[in-house]
Chains A and B, each alone.
Chain A
């Protein structure tokens, strides 16, 4: 299985400051059609996961533009340009290129 490794696992951030989460895959996520099925999910306390980003850098509908995704090959990043209180959550990267689709361990973002 593809192993997804996130860092850091805990991320205290000051309101209004940027935050960045790294995700590394154990093998290339380039699919046979050239797409890279790397996704980011947000799980707020007491809620179901919500997809934020698909195919590395595409924001889902309704996702604020302070969230952005980037990366290539095996290294990917989720950035929050200015953290707001509602961003307190666990963030997961997930690859959908190779079955079984696999998630990172999760990064807990909290306010300092």
Chain B
């Protein structure tokens, strides 16, 4: 069955960096677009980025553009999110998701807390 396992979350100070990882199994990873979605406390779900199966196509929400970078390694069945210049408003649970046009299967999420 499809399994997506995120890691790399934690507590970071404003202005700091974190790299999230997502290990995929149970499907042919290189066949699918992938995305990152976050759920901030007291706020709704937000799609922040997606990447095509060959990495040739990426896109970002305005809230993270220029600060976050999505990437993947198809040989390792892994998705990444490099987050720089983190702000308090980036505090959220970050989900990795497989896309069939839009997210269909999601991981369990990893919590990122940005606080001094």
Is chain B a partner of chain A in the same complex? yes
Question: Which A residues lie at the B interface, using CB under 8 A?
Answer: 37, 39, 41, 48-51, 54-55, 60, 92, 94, 96, 99-106
Cβ contacts under 8 Å, B105 to chain A: 51
A105, B43: Cα distance in complex, Å = 8
- Chain A: minimal CB distance from B13 (Å): 27
Contact between chains at B101 and A96 (CB < 8 Å): yes
Distance A49 CA – B104 CA, assembled complex (angstroms): 9
20 A-B pairs besides A51-B105, A100-B48, A104-B44 with CB distance below 8 A are A41-B45, A48-B107, A49-B37, A49-B45, A49-B95, A50-B106, A51-B104, A54-B102, A60-B104, A92-B44, A94-B45, A94-B102, A96-B101, A96-B102, A99-B59, A100-B47, A100-B61, A101-B47, A103-B44, A106-B45
Kindly state the separation between the CA atoms of A94 and B37 in the bound complex, as whole angstroms.
Answer: 12
Q: CB-nearest residue of chain B relative to A100? A: B61
Q: Which residue of A lies closest to B62 (CB)?
A: A100
Determine whether B103 belongs to the interface, using a CB cutoff of 8 Å to chain A: yes
Most B-side CB within 10 Å, residue of A48, A103, A104, A106:
A48
Given A54-B101, A100-B62, A48 and B44 contact (CB-CB distance below 8 Å): no
**Which A residues lie within 8 Å of B102 (CB)?**
37, 39, 51, 54, 94, 96, 101
User: Considering the chains assembled together, what is the distance between the CA atoms of A15 and B27 in angstroms?
Assistant: 36
Interface flag for B56 (CB, 8 Å)? no
- Residues from chain A with a CB closer than 8 A to the CB of B47 are 100-103
In the complex, which residues of chain A have a beta carbon less than 8 angstroms from the beta carbon of B62? Answer: 100
Complex Cα–Cα for A18 and B17 (A): 47
**Is A54's CB under 8 angstroms from B100's CB?**
yes
Query: CA A31 – CA B58 in complex, angstroms?
Result: 19
Shortest Cβ distance from residue B69 to the other chain A in the assembled complex, whole angstroms: 16
